[in-house]
Amino acid sequence: MGDKVFMQGNEAFAEAAIRSGCKFFFGYPITPSSEIPEYYAKKAPSEGLTFIQAETEVSAFNMVAGVAATGKRGMTATSGPGFSLGCEAMSYMSAAGLPSVIVDCMRPGPADGEILGSQGDYNQLTKGGGHGDYNTIVLAPYSVQEYADFAPLAFDLAEKYRNPVVVASDGTIAKMMENVEFPEKIAPKGRSDWACDGINGRDHYNDITTCGDGPEQWEKYNLNLQSKYTKIRENEQRWEEIQTDDADILIVAFGSLSRVCLTAMRIARENGIKVGIIRPITLWPFPVKAFEKFADKDVKYFVTELNAGQMVNDVKLAVNDNKKVEFYGRLGGITPTPVELYKKLCELYK
Footprint on this chain of other proteins (rule: CB under 8 A): 4, 6, 116, 143, 172, 175-179, 256, 259-264, 266, 335-340
Question: What is the closest distance, in whole angstroms, from the C-beta atom of residue 145 to other proteins in the complex?
Answer: 9
Q: Which is nearer to other proteins, 178 or 236 (CB)?
A: 178
Q: Which is nearer to other proteins, 316 or 343 (CB)?
A: 343
Q: Which is nearer to other proteins, 78 or 256 (CB)?
A: 256
Question: What is the closest distance, in whole angstroms, from the C-beta atom of residue 177 to other proteins in the complex?
Answer: 4
Q: Which is nearer to other proteins, 71 or 117 (CB)?
A: 117
Rounded CA separation 75/59 (Å)? 12
Question: What is the closest distance, in whole angstroms, from the C-beta atom of residue 252 to other proteins in the complex?
Answer: 17
Q: Which is nearer to other proteins, 8 or 62 (CB)?
A: 8
Which residues lie closer than 8 Å to 256 by C-beta, 6 or more apart? 117, 119, 142, 169, 170, 172, 173, 176, 306, 335
Measured at the alpha carbon of residue 226, what is the angle toward residues 220 and 228, in degrees to the nearest 5? 110
Question: What is the closest distance, in whole angstroms, from the C-beta atom of residue 272 to other proteins in the complex?
Answer: 19
Give the number of other CB atoms < 10 A from CB of residue 299. Answer: 19
Q: Which is nearer to other proteins, 177 or 308 (CB)?
A: 177
Q: Which parts of 236-310 fold into alpha helices (H)?
A: 255-270, 289-292
Q: Are 107 and 114 in contact (CB under 8 A)?
A: yes
Buried/exposed code over 107-134 (b: 16+ C-beta within 10 A; e: otherwise): bbbeeebbbbbbbbbbebbbebbbeeeb
Rounded CA separation 140/285 (Å)? 11
Question: What is the closest distance, in whole angstroms, from the C-beta atom of residue 121 to other proteins in the complex?
Answer: 20
Question: What is the closest distance, in whole angstroms, from the C-beta atom of residue 349 to other proteins in the complex?
Answer: 20
